[in-house]
Chains A and B, each alone.
Chain A
């Protein structure tokens, strides 16, 4: 590595416009020479201000230096240059999480997932390792005192969600009808047994475990997923209702977020 650093340094001295500043800055960053790495990256950027890799490189260096806002700004620049850049979105999510801006962190990670990043769980793990606690656990812990509010912060005004046990009894959340009445118990009772029937149907058809059920009504789209199999929720359901004009493709991520929240809450339940 030392030889490569020397070679790249020599090349950069010969040709200051060379893109070799990118691997050089990365090598210095990995060696922990962060101030030097930053200088190399900044000088490279002066000659290549529209190079997204250069902004991404500087963002990584700034993050390692602990200058999180500068790192965020650099990744923001990457996004301007390459909309949908998954690495930049994940980096920004990491910064926001470190700054305690949890809502934004999760929203950004979901955005990265929406860009087709199948490795998003690894990014989540990275964030979790750095903080020692999951976002869902933080919020679930805060909301544990009032189970009705378990899903409140991840739902829009025209969305509602509940978690039911296997008998259709409400464990958490609230289900409001159009006139503002909480009809969670009624909905729970009418959906009692759906999980068992879905299990029977999928078993009979040989199509594996059921993952979700969706049905469209005049006033809403209702999505169901199996409740986490712990904390007394096994065999239960997560029920999410959204506005009828919600794009169907957006329902699965929303359902997944509610399931994650339920999981964290059940983990924390006494």
Chain B
């Protein structure tokens, strides 16, 4: 049980959430995860961290300041990401999941982890 287990458990309890991960922001390596789907968490972590890095870089390029919540929406699912300089919190959810609630929980979790 890591320092992040409670946060990940809170997120996974949200309706439609299939997985939650804490990822190292710099290299995309998973620090802890709670996955309820049969995918490779390492790859999800790497892809999510990379997407978030690109978002942060483009925000900096445009002078938009720090980056907060990020969401990738696909045909049947969503990838939600929030993070800071060191760690990134990732949630994999179904399309039907309440993204508003997930966003609020992730913002809370990010504050708790900061």
Contact = CB atoms under 8 A, between A and B. Distances in A.
Contacts of B74: 202, 205, 207-211
A54 interface: no
Interface string A239-265: 001000000100000000000000000
Contacts of A211: 73-75
Given A179-B63, A183-B63, A202 B72 contact: yes
A1 interface: no
Contacts, number: 123
Interface residues of B, number: 37
Given A193-B54, A220-B62, 18 more contacts: A183-B61, A190-B57, A191-B58, A194-B51, A194-B54, A197-B50, A197-B54, A205-B74, A205-B79, A207-B74, A208-B74, A210-B73, A213-B55, A214-B71, A215-B71, A217-B68, A219-B65, A222-B62
Nearest to A209: B75
Most-contacted residue by chain A among B51, B63, B75 (CB, 10 A): B63
Interface in B24-62: 37, 39-40, 43-44, 47-48, 50-51, 54-55, 57-62
10 contacts: A197-B51, A198-B72, A204-B40, A206-B77, A207-B76, A211-B73, A213-B51, A213-B72, A217-B59, A241-B62
A181 B64 CA distance: 13
Contacts of B44: 201, 204-205
Nearest to B40: A204
4 closest A-B pairs (Cβ-Cβ)?
A208-B75, A218-B65, A207-B77, A215-B70
Interface string A217-239: 11110100000000000000000
B62 A186 contact: yes
A213 B77 contact: no
Contact of B58 (A179, A187, A210): A187
Interface of B: 37, 39-40, 43-44, 47-48, 50-51, 54-55, 57-79, 92, 95, 100
Interface majority SS on B: helix, strand, loop or mixed?
Answer: mixed
Contacts of B51: 194, 197-198, 201, 213
